A and B are shown apart, each in its own frame.
Chain A
Amino acid sequence: MKIFQNSDIPIYQQIAEQLKSDILAGKFKQGDYLPSIRGLAKELKISVITTMKAYELLEEEGLVTAVQGKGFYVNAQDSQMLKEQHMRKVEDALTEAIQAAEIAQMSDKELIGTLETLISMKNAQV
Chain B
Amino acid sequence: MVTENAITINNLTKSFKGFKLEIPHLEIPKGFATALIGENGAGKTTLLNILAGVRLDYKGQISCMGENFANGADNAKVKEKIGYTGPGNYYLPHWTVNQVEELTGLLFDDFNKDRFRQICMELAIFPDGNFAGKKKVKELSDGTKMKLMLAGMLARDTDLLIMDEPASPLDPVMREKLCDTIRGYIDSGAGEKSVFFSTHNVSDMEYVTDYAIIMEHGQVVEAGFVEDLKEKYILVKGDKEMEQAARPYLYSVSSNSYGFEGICLAENMNALAGMNLSTERPSLFQISVAVMKANSRIMMNKR
Contact = CB atoms under 8 A, between A and B. Distances in A.
Contacts of B179: 45
Contacts of B191: 38
A69 B55 CA distance: 36
Contacts of B31: 38, 48
A41 B187 contact: yes
Contacts of A38: 31, 183, 186-187, 190-191
Interface string A47-75: 11110110010000000000000000000
Contact of A46 (B190, B207, B211, B230): B207
In this complex, the interface size class of chain A, counting residues with CB under 8 Å from chain B, is: 10 to 19
Interface in A9-53: 10, 12, 36, 38-39, 41-42, 45-50, 52-53
B210 A48 contact: yes
Contacts of A46: 207
Q: Which of A8, A42, A56 has the most CB of B within 10 A?
A: A42
Contacts of B33: 47-48
A38 B189 CA distance: 9
A5 interface: yes
Nearest to B184: A42
B198 interface: no
Contact of A47 (B1, B207, B280): B207
A24 to B, nearest CB: 24
Give the top 6 A-B pairs by smallest Cβ distance, nearest first.
A49-B210, A38-B187, A42-B183, A42-B187, A53-B227, A47-B210
A40 to B, nearest CB: 9
Given A41-B187, A49-B210, A49-B225, 14 more contacts: A5-B207, A8-B280, A10-B230, A41-B186, A42-B183, A42-B184, A45-B179, A45-B207, A47-B206, A47-B210, A48-B32, A48-B210, A49-B227, A50-B207
